[in-house]
Amino acid sequence: MQDFRKLKVWQKAHSLTLAVYAATRRYPKEELFGLTSESRRSSSSVPTNIAEACGRSAPGDFIRFLDIASGSASELEYQLLLGRDLLFLESKLYEELNAGVCEVKQMLSALASRARANDPRRKTKDGP
């Protein structure tokens, strides 16, 4: 187990979640239980699943929860695009948030790749 707060990807994902919550405050009230809620849910799911990954002792579980976090980031990527296309998000804010999502997805992918490479189940008695 490791402290998720020390992972740069968790820090970025947490900051992104805070930014999404702030941005969605401007969404129309009728979207409170629609796109507002979905965007907040998917954004908070990313750092939540990273934290859960860090609480698991099995390498396979760690990787699985990173994959779930990546899936949630992809959901958010679309929800931000929809928010922009519905004119709920200004283009500049959309670009900033989207760049944050893409960065988090890349970081998750790199971390999962390193974890897969270090997974003892993938090593044979003759070597890696």
Q: For 20-44, what is each residue's pLDDT tens digit?
A: 999 999 999 999 999 999 999 999 9
pLDDT at 125 over 60: no
Alpha-carbon distance 50 to 65, whole Å? 7
How would residue 123 be classed by pLDDT, with cut points 50, 70 and 90? low
One of 3.90.1150.10, 3.30.43.10, 3.30.930.10, 1.20.1440.60 is the CATH number of 4-118, namely 1.20.1440.60
Say which amino acid occupies 46: V
Q: Please give the structure tokens belonging to residue 114.
A: 């390193």
Mean pLDDT of 67-75: 98
Mean pLDDT of 93-112: 98
Mean pLDDT of 72-78: 98
- pTM score above 0.85: yes
Check if the beta carbon of residue 100 is closer than 8 Å to that of residue 19.
Answer: yes
User: In this predicted structure, what is the pLDDT of residue 122?
Assistant: 66
Q: Cβ-count burial of 111 within 10 angstroms (0-12 exposed, 13-18 middle, 19+ buried)?
A: buried
124 φ, ψ (degrees, to nearest 5)? -105, 170
User: In this predicted structure, what is the pLDDT of residue 126?
Assistant: 46
pLDDT at 1 over 70: no
Residue 114 CB coordination number (10 Å): 11
